[in-house]
Chain A
Amino acid sequence: MRLHETARVSGIDRPLIGRVARSPLAAGRGDAWLLAENGVLPCDPHGYLGVLSLGDLPDDAPELSGIPVARGLRQLGYLDDGDVVAVDPNGFVRALYRRSSRSNFILVTEQCNSLCLMCSQPPKPIDDSGRMEEHLRLIDLIDPATEELGITGGEPTLFRDGFLALIARCRERLPDTALHVLTNGRMFFYRSFAEKLGRIAHPDLVLGIPLYSDIAARHDHIVQAAGAFEETVIGLQHLDRHGVRVEIRVVLHALSIPRLSRLATFIARNFPFACHVALMGLEMFGLVHQHLSELWIDPADYQRELGAAADILRDAGMNVSIYNHQLCVLDRRLWPLARKSISDWKNVYLPECNACGAIERCGGFFQSGTKIRSAHIRALPSMEIAAP
Chain B
Amino acid sequence: MSAYGLLPFRFLRFDDARTLVVNDVGESLFLANDDFARFVRHELPPDHDAYLDLKAGHFLFQGDSLAPFELLVTKYRSKKAFLDGFTSLHIFVVSLRCEHSCHYCQVSRVSADRRRYDMSEETARRALDLAFRSPAPRLKIELQGGEPLLHFERVRQIIEEAHRRAEEEERQIEFVVTTNLALIDGEMLAFFREHDVFLSTSLDGPAELHDVNRPRPGNDSHARAIAGIHLAREALGHDRVAAMMTTTRASLESPEAIVEEYARLGFDSIFLRPLSPYGFALRSVRTTGYSMREFLDFYVRALDHILALNANGAHLVESYAQLLLTRMLTPFSTGYVDLQSPAGAGIGAVVYNYDGDVYASDESRMLAEMGDTRFRLGNVHRDTYAEIFGGDTLRRIVAASVAESIPGCADCAFVPWCGADPVHHYATTGDLVPHIPTSDFHEKHFFLFKHLMSLYERDATTRRIFWAWVRREPMRSEEVA
Chain A residues near B (Cβ < 8 Å): 214-216, 229-230, 233-234, 237, 259, 262, 266, 268-270, 272, 314-317, 333, 336, 388
Q: Which B-chain residue is minimally distant from A312 (CB atoms)?
A: B467
- The answer to whether B65 touches A216 (Cβ under 8 A) is yes
Binding-face segment, B51-59, B146-154, B408-416: B51-59
- The answer to whether A272 touches B330 (Cβ under 8 A) is yes
In the complex, chain A residues whose CB is within 8 Å of the CB of B329 = 316
- The answer to whether B53 touches A237 (Cβ under 8 A) is no
Q: Does B301 make an interface contact (CB < 8 A)? A: no
Q: Does B4 make an interface contact (CB < 8 A)? A: no
Return A230 CB to nearest CB of chain B, in Å. 5
The answer to whether residues A388 and B476 also contact, given A229-B67, A269-B27 and a CB cut-off of 8 A, is no
- Of the candidates A216, A269, A315, A388, the one whose C-beta lies within 8 Å of that of B467 is A315
- The answer to whether B67 touches A314 (Cβ under 8 A) is no
Q: Give how many A-B residue pairs fall within 8 Å (CB-CB).
A: 53
In the complex, chain B residues whose CB is within 8 Å of the CB of A316 = 329-330, 467, 471
Q: Does B474 make an interface contact (CB < 8 A)? A: no
The answer to whether residues A314 and B55 also contact, given A230-B66, A269-B75, A270-B331 and a CB cut-off of 8 A, is no
Q: Does B169 make an interface contact (CB < 8 A)? A: no
- The answer to whether A262 touches B75 (Cβ under 8 A) is no
- Of the candidates B27, B55, B332, B478, the one whose C-beta lies within 8 Å of that of A272 is B332
| CB contact list, B426-481 vs A, under 8 A | 463-464, 467, 470-471, 476, 478
Q: Does B71 make an interface contact (CB < 8 A)? A: yes
- The answer to whether B27 touches A233 (Cβ under 8 A) is no
- The answer to whether A317 touches B75 (Cβ under 8 A) is no
The answer to whether residues A215 and B67 also contact, given A270-B331, A315-B467, A317-B471 and a CB cut-off of 8 A, is no
16 more contacts with CB within 8 A, not counting A230-B66, A262-B52, are A214-B52, A215-B52, A215-B56, A216-B65, A230-B67, A234-B67, A237-B70, A237-B71, A269-B331, A272-B331, A314-B476, A315-B470, A315-B471, A316-B330, A333-B478, A388-B478
In the complex, chain A residues whose CB is within 8 Å of the CB of B75 = 269-270
Q: Does B284 make an interface contact (CB < 8 A)? A: no
- The answer to whether A266 touches B67 (Cβ under 8 A) is no
In the complex, chain B residues whose CB is within 8 Å of the CB of A234 = 66-67, 70
Q: Which B-chain residue is minimally distant from A231 (CB atoms)?
A: B67
Provide the bound-state CA to CA distance between A272 and B471, in Å: 12
7 smallest CB-CB distances across A and B, nearest first, come from A315-B467, A214-B56, A317-B471, A233-B67, A230-B67, A234-B70, A270-B71
- The answer to whether B330 touches A259 (Cβ under 8 A) is no
Provide the bound-state CA to CA distance between A262 and B56, in Å: 8
- The answer to whether B331 touches A259 (Cβ under 8 A) is no
Provide the bound-state CA to CA distance between A259 and B66, in Å: 22
In the complex, chain A residues whose CB is within 8 Å of the CB of B27 = 269
- The answer to whether B66 touches A266 (Cβ under 8 A) is no
| CB contact list, B35-54 vs A, under 8 A | 52-53
- Of the candidates A230, A268, A272, A317, the one whose C-beta lies within 8 Å of that of B65 is A230
In the complex, chain A residues whose CB is within 8 Å of the CB of B463 = 315
Q: Does B157 make an interface contact (CB < 8 A)? A: no
Q: Does B219 make an interface contact (CB < 8 A)? A: no
- The answer to whether B74 touches A215 (Cβ under 8 A) is no
- The answer to whether B56 touches A233 (Cβ under 8 A) is no
Provide the bound-state CA to CA distance between A269 and B68, in Å: 12
Provide the bound-state CA to CA distance between A376 and B431, in Å: 69
- The answer to whether B52 touches A259 (Cβ under 8 A) is yes
Q: Which A-chain residue is minimally distant from B69 (CB atoms)?
A: A234
In the complex, chain A residues whose CB is within 8 Å of the CB of B70 = 233-234, 237
In the complex, chain B residues whose CB is within 8 Å of the CB of A272 = 330-332
Interface of chain A, main secondary structure: helix
Q: Which A-chain residue is minimally distant from B473 (CB atoms)?
A: A317
Return B139 CB to nearest CB of chain A, in Å. 25
Q: Which A-chain residue is minimally distant from B27 (CB atoms)?
A: A269
Provide the bound-state CA to CA distance between A270 and B464, in Å: 21
The answer to whether residues A262 and B476 also contact, given A237-B74, A316-B330 and a CB cut-off of 8 A, is no
Provide the bound-state CA to CA distance between A196 and B470, in Å: 35
- The answer to whether B67 touches A216 (Cβ under 8 A) is yes
- The answer to whether B66 touches A215 (Cβ under 8 A) is no
- The answer to whether B478 touches A262 (Cβ under 8 A) is no
In the complex, chain A residues whose CB is within 8 Å of the CB of B470 = 315, 317
In the complex, chain A residues whose CB is within 8 Å of the CB of B478 = 333, 336, 388
Provide the bound-state CA to CA distance between A336 and B70, in Å: 35
Provide the bound-state CA to CA distance between A230 and B331, in Å: 20
Provide the bound-state CA to CA distance between A127 and B402, in Å: 57
Provide the bound-state CA to CA distance between A206 and B65, in Å: 27
In the complex, chain B residues whose CB is within 8 Å of the CB of A388 = 478
Provide the bound-state CA to CA distance between A388 and B479, in Å: 12
- The answer to whether A215 touches B55 (Cβ under 8 A) is yes
In the complex, chain A residues whose CB is within 8 Å of the CB of B464 = 315
Return B477 CB to nearest CB of chain A, in Å. 9
- The answer to whether B67 touches A262 (Cβ under 8 A) is no
Return B181 CB to nearest CB of chain A, in Å. 33
CB pairs A–B below 8 angstroms (25 shown)? A214-B52, A215-B52, A215-B55, A229-B67, A230-B65, A233-B67, A234-B70, A237-B70, A237-B71, A237-B74, A259-B52, A259-B56, A262-B56, A266-B56, A268-B330, A268-B331, A269-B27, A269-B75, A270-B75, A272-B330, A272-B331, A315-B463, A315-B464, A333-B478, A336-B478
Provide the bound-state CA to CA distance between A162 and B65, in Å: 29
In the complex, chain B residues whose CB is within 8 Å of the CB of A216 = 65, 67
Return A235 CB to nearest CB of chain B, in Å. 10
In the complex, chain B residues whose CB is within 8 Å of the CB of A268 = 330-331
In the complex, chain B residues whose CB is within 8 Å of the CB of A333 = 478
Provide the bound-state CA to CA distance between A229 and B62, in Å: 14
Return A327 CB to nearest CB of chain B, in Å. 16
Provide the bound-state CA to CA distance between A305 and B240, in Å: 41
Q: Which A-chain residue is minimally distant from B463 (CB atoms)?
A: A315
Provide the bound-state CA to CA distance between A266 and B478, in Å: 25
In the complex, chain B residues whose CB is within 8 Å of the CB of A336 = 478
In the complex, chain B residues whose CB is within 8 Å of the CB of A229 = 67
Provide the bound-state CA to CA distance between A289 and B415, in Å: 51
- The answer to whether A262 touches B53 (Cβ under 8 A) is yes
Provide the bound-state CA to CA distance between A388 and B467, in Å: 22
Return A310 CB to nearest CB of chain B, in Å. 11
Convert B101-123 into 0s and 1s, putting 1 for each residue whose CB lies closer than 8 angstroms to a CB of A.
Answer: 00000000000000000000000
In the complex, chain A residues whose CB is within 8 Å of the CB of B330 = 268, 272, 316
Convert B264-287 into 0s and 1s, putting 1 for each residue whose CB lies closer than 8 angstroms to a CB of A.
Answer: 000000000000000000000000
In the complex, chain A residues whose CB is within 8 Å of the CB of B55 = 215
Q: Which A-chain residue is minimally distant from B72 (CB atoms)?
A: A270
Provide the bound-state CA to CA distance between A268 and B470, in Å: 13
In the complex, chain A residues whose CB is within 8 Å of the CB of B66 = 230, 234
Provide the bound-state CA to CA distance between A150 and B131, in Å: 48
Provide the bound-state CA to CA distance between A259 and B467, in Å: 21
Provide the bound-state CA to CA distance between A363 and B396, in Å: 63
In the complex, chain B residues whose CB is within 8 Å of the CB of A317 = 470-471
Q: Which A-chain residue is minimally distant from B62 (CB atoms)?
A: A216
